[in-house]
A = this chain, B = another copy of it.
Amino acid sequence: MDAESFFSNNIKAALKNSPPGEWMPNIPENCIRLNSGYPAPELVPDQELKAAVALLLDEERDLPLHYLGSPRIDKLKEQIQDRLAERGMRVSKEELLITSGACQAIDLVARILLDEEAVVAMEAPTYMEALEIFKNYTDHYISIPVDEQGLQTDLLEKELAERKQNGLALPRFLYTIPTFQNPTGTTLTADRRKHLLELASSYNFLIIEDDAYGELAFNESPETLKSMDKEGRVLHIGSLSKVVAPGMRIGWVAAARDFITAQWWFKKDLDHPFAHSTMATFLENIDFEERLEMLRRTYREKCAAMLSALQAIMPTSVTWFVPEGGYFAWVRIPGVDTAEMLAEAMAEGVAYIPGKHFFLDQAEGKEYLRLSFSYAEEKEIVEGIRKLAKIVGNLAK
């Protein structure tokens, strides 16, 4: 028996391209976790979710525990429609698919839009899980750098024009996190948003807008690409992972009806009635705007603590982007290999994610690292930066 010989040809190709690769090492128990893209423990509403489950099961008994039957499954969809409407996106029920987090949404989008000939345009750096997902479908990528104003749409335009002139395939879609990007924390400016939509129209590609952090503005959330889109080119992906809890696995895609129908057809885990109806009950019983306000304030303060510490403690050669929301700060340490530095950092008691993990061409990420200000406490954040600064200082000697 040789398992390999039973794998389908597509899978043989995908496995060859994507061996379950090297990833983060195990992080010691007492490390300050500036690596974790998790909400802060005290912001996870565990007691409210406990109360929601109690209320739900007392009211509905077995209904949320069958495949179908809980009226709150539809309710969750309406609640998400309402949240989208708050941000200028009016979508019908047929234009919205609830998924198990943003990851499943990205996978379903890839499933319907990609084949092995397809070209995907991405930001450099970008969300590493998205990269892993796309690699299951195609080997063809265009990678466009991000600066402090987000995706460099002028470089995208140049690349598209060249490809067109040389008769090369144009991308089927661009995957972008335009708002409080993972990992850079940057936000695409209004002008660039407009430019990007124009390019999508002229060069006939779709835009996958991953908006996982979009509600977590320190001040105001920018207009989404989806709300600016007049041509149905934007597939908008969202999630409650960052504003409620990732373990509930609630995400979605909002897009033109045909895209949603096709994705629904390939979504074979069925629905998640218990998780969905629990979330609906939770949302019914809290003031979501108030919760968001609290989250924004807290993350703003944590981010400010991180940036002040960087400013105060790091050698002047070290630079970073200033986030306006989200979970992350993106730091450059010139002349340092951040992947090599990680072992020493963890020995000192602080963890981060080396930049290379966010690039298609990992060499590009060598001097960068992603710091998360979401999970650790302010005091820990400052202490973590101090530890990093010490290592960087020693390396510079």
Contact = CB atoms under 8 A, between A and B. Distances in A.
A275 interface: yes
The 4 A-B pairs at the shortest CB distance, nearest first, are namely: A3-B258, A100-B269, A107-B268, A44-B62
Interface size class of A (residues with CB under 8 A): 35 or more
A31 interface: no
Interface string A65-103: 111001000000000000000000000000000011101
A266 interface: yes
A233 interface: yes
B268 A66 contact: no
Given A1-B233, A44-B61, A49-B274, 18 more contacts: A1-B231, A1-B256, A3-B256, A6-B172, A6-B173, A6-B206, A14-B266, A20-B265, A41-B61, A44-B66, A49-B65, A62-B245, A66-B246, A99-B269, A129-B268, A133-B268, A245-B274, A249-B272
A247 B265 contact: no
Contacts of A365: none
A259 B3 contact: yes
A246 B1 contact: no
Contacts of A18: 265
13 contacts: A3-B259, A3-B262, A6-B172, A6-B259, A14-B266, A46-B57, A49-B57, A70-B247, A107-B269, A129-B268, A247-B273, A249-B274, A274-B275
Contacts of A266: 11, 14, 136
A45 to B, nearest CB: 8
Query: How many copies of this chain?
Result: 2
A119 to B, nearest CB: 12
B232 A247 contact: no
Nearest to A43: B62
